[in-house]
C-alpha cells in the first residue's frame, strides 16, 4: 500500500487522503458496470492507498451505496473516511414498465422525491446507512441544490428556504452530537457558494464546475470567501467530465454535454503546451488541482480498476515548472492560479 498524503477538511478535525474515489460510475452512470468490475474499482483504490470514498443515494438510486458499503464493511471502520449525500428520499418505483433510470442506466428500481426538510434529511441519512450496512458516515453533503438541477430562481430559492428553516437543524444536530464529522454542499456551478455561506455554517464544498485546468473562475470570489472562513474544497469533476482525460477528440464531453468549439480549441492549446513538456494532459489536470491549498482532495471516478492505477501513477509523475509558466504566459491559466 502507498501512503497517500492526507489533508484536513475545514475545521472538522478529520483528514482525508488527497486522492480519493468518486463513485458515481458505480451507480452505472451512462453504462452498466458488472458487480465484479465495480468491486475491482474499489479494491484498486484501496490497494493504491485511497482512504476517502464519496458516494450518494442518487448514484444508481442506491446502487453505488450498496456497492461501496459491501466493500467498506470488510475494512476497519477507522481506516477510511466516507461521505454520502442528502436531499433526495427514495421509494420503490410505482410502475416498473414506465420506470426511467435517467443517466444511471442500470439504476435500481427506486424513484426519489426532493426533500431538504428536517425529516427528509434524517430519513435520507438513515436510509443511506442501511444501504451501506454501516453504523455511520463521516461527512454529509447537501446534494445538487442549485440551478443545474432545479433551473429556476423560484425553485432554488424554495429549496434553500426549506434547508435553512428545517433541514439545517437535522445536519447541525447530527454534527453537534458527533454522529457525523462534517457537513458540505455539492456545487455544480458558480454563484451558489456565497448563497450557502449566507445561510449555513458548512465545513467544505464539493465542487464540480468552476475550478479545473480549463477554467478557474472560482478564484474570483468563491474560493477567497471559503478561505476567509476556513472552509475546504473537494474537487469532483477533475477531468471536467471527460475532455481533460481524452483531449479535444471528436465527441469530447465538457460537463456532461458535447464540448463547445471554444472549449475544444482551448483544450487543444493546453495539450500542445503539455506535449512540449512531455506531460500527458490528464497528468497536468490532476496535479494542478492539488496545488491549491484550499483543496482537501480530488475524487476522480473510475469505470475500471486500471483507471484508478493510471490516475495514481499520473499524480506521481514529475511536471516541469516551465509547463505552468508557459500556460500562464499564453493566457491559458490565470496568473493567480496556484501551481505545483
Catalytic residue IDs:
54, 59, 85
Q: State the Cα–Cα distance between residues 228 and 197, nearest whole angstrom.
A: 11
How many CB atoms are closer than 10 A to CB 265?
A: 12
- Residue by residue, DSSP assigns 34-95 as -HHHHHHHHHHHHHHT--EEE--TTTTTTHHHHHHHHHHTTS-GGG-EEEEEESEEEEE-S-
Q: Give Cα separations from 47 to 7, 40, 110 (angstroms).
A: 19, 10, 32
In angstroms, the CA 87 to CA 277 distance is 44
Strand bridging mode 21-22 / 15-17: unpaired
Instruction: Name the β-bridge partners of 29.
Output: 104
Helix (H, G, I), strand (E, B) or coil at 134: coil
DSSP 8-state symbol, 300: -
Distance of CA 8 to the CA centre of its chain: 16
- Interatomic CA distance for residues 26 and 33, integer angstroms: 7
Which CA distances in Å does 27 have to 105, 146, 222? 8, 22, 30
248 touches 267 (CB < 8 A): yes
Amino acid at each position: 500500500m502507498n501512503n497517500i498524503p492526507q489533508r484536513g477538511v475545514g475545521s472538522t478535525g478529520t483528514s482525508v487522503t488527497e486522492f480519493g474515489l468518486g463513485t458515481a460510475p458505480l451507480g452505472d452512470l451512462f453504462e452498466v458496470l458488472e458487480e465484479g468490475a465495480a468491486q475491482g474499482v474499489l479494491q484498486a483504490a484501496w490497494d493504491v492507498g485511497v482512504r476517502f470514498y464519496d458516494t450518494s443515494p442518487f448514484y444508481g438510486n442506491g446502487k453505488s451505496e450498496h456497492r461501496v458499503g459491501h466493500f467498506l464493511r470488510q475494512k476497519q471502520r477507522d481506516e477510511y473516511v466516507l461521505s454520502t449525500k442528502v436531499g433526495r428520499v427514495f421509494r420503490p418505483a410505482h410502475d416498473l414498465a414506465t420506470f426511467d433510470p435517467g443517466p444511471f442506466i442500470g439504476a435500481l428500481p427506486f424513484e426519489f422525491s426532493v426533500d431538504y426538510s428536517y425529516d427528509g434529511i434524517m430519513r435520507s441519512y438513515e436510509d443511506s446507512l442501511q444501504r451501506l450496512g454501516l453504523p455511520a458516515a463521516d461527512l454529509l453533503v447537501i446534494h445538487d441544490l442549485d440551478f443545474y438541477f432545479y433551473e429556476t430562481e423560484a425553485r432554488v430559492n424554495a429549496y434553500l428556504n426549506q434547508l435553512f428553516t428545517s433541514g439545517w437543524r437535522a445536519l447541525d444536530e447530527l454534527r453537534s452530537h458527533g454522529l457525523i464529522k462534517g457537513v458540505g454542499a455539492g456545487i455544480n456551478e458558480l454563484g451558489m457558494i456565497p448563497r450557502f455561506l449566507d445561510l449555513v455554517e458548512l465545513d467544505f464544498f464539493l465542487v464540480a464546475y468552476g475550478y479545473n485546468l480549463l477554467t478557474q473562475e472560482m478564484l474570483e470570489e468563491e474560493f477567497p470567501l471559503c478561505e476567509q472562513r476556513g472552509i475546504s474544497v473537494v474537487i469532483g469533476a477533475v477531468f471536467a467530465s471527460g475532455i481533460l482525460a481524452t483531449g479535444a477528440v471528436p465527441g469530447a464531453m465538457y460537463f456532461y454535454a458535447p464540448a463547445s468549439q471554444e472549449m475544444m480549441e482551448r483544450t487543444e492549446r493546453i495539450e500542445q503546451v503539455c506535449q512540449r513538456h512531455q506531460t500527458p494532459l490528464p497528468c497536468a489536470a490532476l496535479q494542478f488541482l492539488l496545488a491549491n491549498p484550499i483543496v482537501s482532495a480530488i475524487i476522480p471516478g473510475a469505470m475500471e480498476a486500471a483507471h484508478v492505477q493510471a490516475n495514481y501513477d499520473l499524480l506521481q509523475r514529475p511536471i516541469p515548472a516551465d509547463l505552468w509558466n508557459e500556460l500562464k504566459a499564453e493566457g491559458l491559466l490565470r496568473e493567480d492560479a496556484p501551481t505545483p
